[in-house]
Every structure is written in structure tokens, then in C-alpha cells.
Amino acid sequence: MTAPDAAPALTHIDAQGNARMVDVGQKPDTDRLAIAVGAISLSPAALTAITTGRVKKGDVLQIAQIAGIQAAKRASDLIPLCHPLPLDRVELRLWPEGGEIRVEATVGTRWRTGVEMEALTAVSAACLTVYDMVKAIDRGMCIHGIRLIEKRGGRSGTWTAPG
């Protein structure tokens, strides 16, 4: 039994303190889903250029959407010890709201481990793509609020962010 104030065991560290990839080989395949969100705040000029299609590099929201989908598929290449997963579903929504572009990624699979990292990576890449495409107009953009808001499946069941 763990003491109430003891730190939880680290699953990616072995008894000798070495990094390891968690063995999920014996876990059953279950339906998994994760939803992550984030945003990029930008100047009125940058937001207007995006919403009126006047960014020289192209359709910012469409390209950022594709970048997010691609990033979800490559999360294990970017994050050490992250399992490569067979993704069944990656959806990205981007929309202007207030002085920012909001991003939501929904990722799903039927596998032995969750897709939280894939959803978070998708949102991050989409925001970075917006930044890259609009930086000539606004270098003061701020990417913020990237977080998991829901996960479903696996042994721990469903989790929803408070609020």
C-alpha cells in the first residue's frame, strides 16, 4: 500500500532509474478517445488576414488542420517513449473566436493505450502552423491553453477536465 503523501510510481522508469517504454503487450484492445484544445492569440490585422483569405502562404486554417492531423500520426516520432498507435480517427476543428484562433482535436483508436499525446500533439502542431503562416503579419502571437479536456477508454475509464 502506498502512503497517502507518497509520489505515484513512474511507469517509464525501471527499478534502476533507467528510462523504458511501458509494456502494453498484455493489455486488451479497447476503444480509446482523447479531446484536446488550445488557442493562438493574434493581432486584429493577423486575424482579419486569416478570416478574409489574405495570407500569402494560403488558407491558414485548412493547412493548420492538415498539419494537426499529420502531427497526431507522428506523435511517437516526437515524444520519447510514446507508443506508435494505429489511429482510427483524427479530427481537427479551427475557428476564430474573440482575438484568437481556437483549436480542438479529437483522436480515436481501438488499441492497448490511450491517445492523449496524439491529441495534444495535433493541437500544438496546428497552433504552430498558424504561427508560421502569419508571422510576417504578427510576431507577437501567443500559443496558450493547450490541454486535455477529455479521455475515454482503458482501465481508468472516462476523465473530463473540471469546469
pLDDT tens figures, 53-66:
999 999 999 999 99
The answer to whether residue 7 is domain-embedded is: no
**Domain count within the chain:** 1
Residue 105's H or E segment, with its range, is strand 100-111
pTM for this one?
0.88
The answer to whether residue 24 is domain-embedded is: no
104-137 burial, b for 16+ CB within 10 Å, e for fewer? bbbbbbebbbbbbbbbbbbbbbbbbbbbebbeeb
| Domain encompassing residue 76 | 30-160
Q: Which residues are marked as active site?
A: 132
Mean pLDDT on 3-27: 69
What is the number of other CB atoms lying within 10 angstroms of the CB of residue 4? Answer: 5
Indicate whether 91 pLDDT > 90.
yes
Q: What is the CATH number of the domain that holds 41?
A: 3.30.70.640
CB-count burial class (<10 Å; 0-12, 13-18, 19+) for 49: buried
- Backbone torsions φ then ψ of 91, nearest 5 degrees: -125, 135
Q: What integer pLDDT is reported at residue 2 of this predicted model?
A: 45
Least confident of 21-30, 55-64, 72-81: 21-30
